[in-house]
A and B are shown apart, each in its own frame.
Chain A
Amino acid sequence: MAEDLNWAIGGEAGDGIDSTGKIFAQALSRAGRHVFTSKDFASRIRGGYTAYKIRTSVEDVQSVVDRLDILVALTQRTIDENLDELHEGSAIIYDGERSWEAEIPDEMTAVDVPLKSLAEDAGGAIMRNIVALGAACEITGFDVEYLDEALEKRFGGKGSKIVENNKEAARLGQEHVEENYDLDHLGYNLETTDEDYVLLNGNEAIGMGALAAGCRFYAGYPITPATTIMEYLTGRIEDYGGHVVQAEDELSAINMALGAARGGARAMTATSGAGIDLMTETFGLVATSETPLVITDVQRSGPSTGMPTKQEQGDLNMALYGGHGEVPRFIVAPTSITECFWKTVEAFNLAEKYQTPVFLVSDLAMSVTEQTFPPEAFDMDEVEIDRGKLVDEDEVDEWLDAQGRFRAHAVTEDGVSPRSIPGATDGAHMSTGLEHDELGRRTEDEDERVQQVDKRNRKVETAKEQEDWDYREFGDPDADNLVISWGSNEGALVEALGYLEEEDVDVRVISVPYIFPRPDLGEEIEAADDVVVVECNATGQFADVIEHDVLTRVKRINKYTGVRFKADELAEEITDKLTEEVPA
């Protein structure tokens, strides 16, 4: 493993922590370094504690670790919150002129930079965090010109004066450290490469996937952490003739998206927390009316208001079973930021091919993490669009009954019926959440009821056969120890393999992106001596599902502190778990 560096800035909400962190992440990305970011924040606009952490390396990084090398501390609490991760070689940048007395452990290097005064010299106190970035560049031997590029990107729209002032602020921070400190002994020296990376988070990847897939309508209601999908699409979807509506609530949002889908548009909504509960009412309607719709749930810590800004994978059961009655559905759960993009594209295709709701289940950790990728990871030429049995005017005629009525819910061998959209001559039909006949008209006839239920369920069976419900695999395919995960734990698990290798623990990792239908892991589990299921929830919802599938008990690693798994801790937990008895 190449040397990596862990950097953070922390302070109170409202201190510009997030944008400062993003600027530094951008600078590192421009320098051809890989970046993996994480956020620590509370659900408030001002005050409290919030931090933005960056792990950077010239090699790929996919996880956070329990170590902090450089910390920009705007408050004492920032130092206190991170004491566990700071070490003897850590440098802490703080402003000694500020009113708080920084208590910094003796073994660490305190770097006192008059952030506010220097920012004022450069043109305004608001730039004090940029002074700190300049100071960080000096400590880490990082070329400040990359920071200039990031500042241009961030402030370019605000005019050259602002950009120049910010560059000056960075220079003053850098010079202050250069003139007053000799920190060579810390040994930080950030290499650069010629690589060109893009830097984005999971929600941006979902939004970009939606645009690539031809999504034209989005309706949503602001809720952390799903809102950034809506914010990404707003201002971009219009370029393709689409539109974003901020609805009055989630009930409205999902129904608007449903309406747009009935109109023939590729439509999506996204929510989190209680928002998905509210949308549950409409799940059955989407499925019964056979409407293609992508419903995104960016999971956060529940139940109820829970911890709105914390990580959890607690909605698996909700996705599987939410809604009264028996609702056929697909559940796709991306396992990484690039997968957020590809699985969104796939979700739209599944929705239209099978005229069914598709739940795209992501989680907070992925949604707020910025990560670097080569742009080819999002090769748009690879995007395929399949609109399924969408029939045009000429094809409508093939699906009319003897009276010339369109059979929108025709019972077919594969369960999928033709779909006509408004404007198609002779395609007019009614769809409903009531049980209906082939024409969409209400029925309570026993035979018709059974036919339609079977038909809708047959779509899922058809999809099981026709689509690839594969898993992703890492580590040693022949290892006796099998670790299974879903969602965003994949990155931490892949990195944990490195630590496990050092301990001579052989592990095969299976990362599952499909919750329903899902890959049959019977053989893989059979072949393993030990099976551990890793997830960010308290009860082991995915472990339950696996046990149910293969009728055998598995071991569980559950984390529900609200913080994502870290590679090093995960390696340790796996090692411990392998020595335990399988639960009876």
Chain B
Amino acid sequence: MSSDVRFTDFKSDKQPTWCPGCGDFGTMNGMMKALANTGNDPDNTFVVAGIGCSGKIGTYMHSYALHGVHGRALPVGTGVKMARPDIEVMVAGGDGDGYSIGAGHFVHAVRRNVDMSYVVMDNRIYGLTKGQASPTSRSDFETSTTPEGPKQPPVNPLALALASGATFIAQSFASDALRHQEIVQEAIEHDGFGFVNVFSPCVTFNDVDTYDYFRDTLVDLEEEDHDPTDYEAAKQVVLDSEKEYQGVMYRDETSVPYHEQHGVTEDMSDIPDEAPDDAMDLVREFY
């Protein structure tokens, strides 16, 4: 691992095709800086991307990466981390990918507490399919598929994570570059599943959850004197229906990541070029 890694080393030479002004630019920059600041380099980093606008991140970043099937990024990340405890794994997705088709995987990835970071670009809309309601859309948010709004409450990913046994829950805002980068960095450094929901506005299809809206309403937990190690305080914050927050809501300092719990320590890619020495013992077991 080299010590002189710059965040631009994590950038590929592909120019993003996101709409000008998309929150994902800022989200990605923060992720790259956070990776570089935590001593990682592209050759020991694996990024798993979902499907949708957010999923394009694997193409615009430079590292080992897989851009997979809609909703299944977390299981892929889990597999990479199991096989390679020595590799930094970061999973990136969107609100549709993570909280709709991938909601089941989200709950279980949180429970497993796999040592990886999960950055969700939440724009409260389906962007790549041109503006349908997402699981985090407001109940009265009018779209082509919900002309009168979804008429159902949005998913609360922070509360879902807490209820699923999360050991690290945070929220950031793509436009607040430094805070976003710090928060992602904390998620990377956390020993366990580091979950960050990022408000990443869609300037094309969402005229409600805009940069201005978040700038005007977002409350920073640092200014609220919030103690992220206090579970009860975390509960209050994630269930607060009046305000939206940025910062680390919850951090379990006793967190033991999955691979340590299960004694997975070895690089599984390294195998002998023949059957194991004691392999005949496996046969003899059947006497």
Contact = CB atoms under 8 A, between A and B. Distances in A.
Contacts of A282: 68-69, 72
A395 interface: no
B272 A385 contact: yes
Interface string B71-113: 1101111111111101100000000000000001101100000
Contact of B80 (A245, A259, A285, A429): A259
Give 3 nearest A-B pairs by CB, closest first: A259-B79, A264-B269, A263-B83
Given A249-B104, A422-B84, A430-B66, A256 B59 contact: no
Contacts of A428: 42-43, 45, 62-65
Contact of B13 (A198, A252, A378, A403): A403
B83 A260 contact: yes
Interface string A267-280: 10000000000000
A204 B275 CA distance: 16
B43 A198 contact: no
A214 B83 contact: no
B239 interface: no
Contact of A198 (B80, B108, B286): B286
A266 interface: yes
Interface in B157-177: none
A443 B43 CA distance: 23
Size class of the A contact interface (CB-based, 8 Å): 35 or more
Given A282-B69, A383-B275, A432-B67, A259 B77 contact: yes
Contacts of A426: 43
Interface string B262-274: 1111111101111
A212 interface: yes
A219 B79 CA distance: 9
Given A212-B276, A242-B268, A431-B65, A251 B72 contact: yes
B79 to A, nearest CB: 2
A29 B105 CA distance: 45
Contacts of A387: 273
Contact of B79 (A29, A214, A261, A423): A261
Nearest to A425: B43
B82 A441 contact: no
Interface in A183-235: 196-200, 204, 208, 211-214, 216-217, 219
Interface residues of B, number: 59
B75 A256 contact: yes
Nearest to A207: B282
Contacts of A285: 68-69
A433 interface: yes
B82 A217 contact: yes
Interface string B1-40: 0000000000011100000000000000000000000000
Given A263-B269, A264-B268, A289-B66, A208 B283 contact: yes
A63 to B, nearest CB: 20
24 contacts: A30-B287, A199-B286, A208-B282, A211-B282, A212-B279, A217-B268, A240-B276, A241-B266, A243-B82, A251-B75, A256-B79, A260-B80, A262-B76, A263-B268, A263-B269, A265-B269, A266-B271, A267-B79, A282-B72, A378-B283, A422-B44, A428-B65, A430-B64, A432-B67
Nearest to A403: B13
Contacts of A197: 287
Nearest to B70: A281
Given A217-B79, A252-B108, A422-B44, A429 B68 contact: no
Interface in A116-165: none
Query: Which residue, B79, B104, B105, B269, has most C-beta atoms of chain A within 10 A?
Result: B79
Interface string A381-411: 1011101000000000000000100000000
A132 to B, nearest CB: 24
B48 interface: yes
Contact of B84 (A219, A249, A403, A423): A423
B76 A243 contact: no
A441 B14 contact: yes
Contacts of A208: 282-283
B46 interface: yes
A424 interface: yes
B42 A259 contact: no
B156 to A, nearest CB: 20
B73 to A, nearest CB: 8
A421 interface: yes
Contacts of B275: 212-213, 380-381, 383, 385
Contacts of B263: 238
A198 B81 CA distance: 37
B79 A257 contact: yes
Contacts of B243: none
A434 interface: yes
Contacts of A422: 43-46, 64, 80, 84, 87
Contacts of B45: 422, 428
Nearest to B258: A245
A518 interface: no
A261 B82 CA distance: 10
A238 to B, nearest CB: 7
B282 A423 contact: no
A85 interface: no
Contacts of A200: 286
B59 A430 contact: yes
A248 B71 CA distance: 13
A37 interface: no
A198 B283 contact: yes
Contacts of A381: 274-275
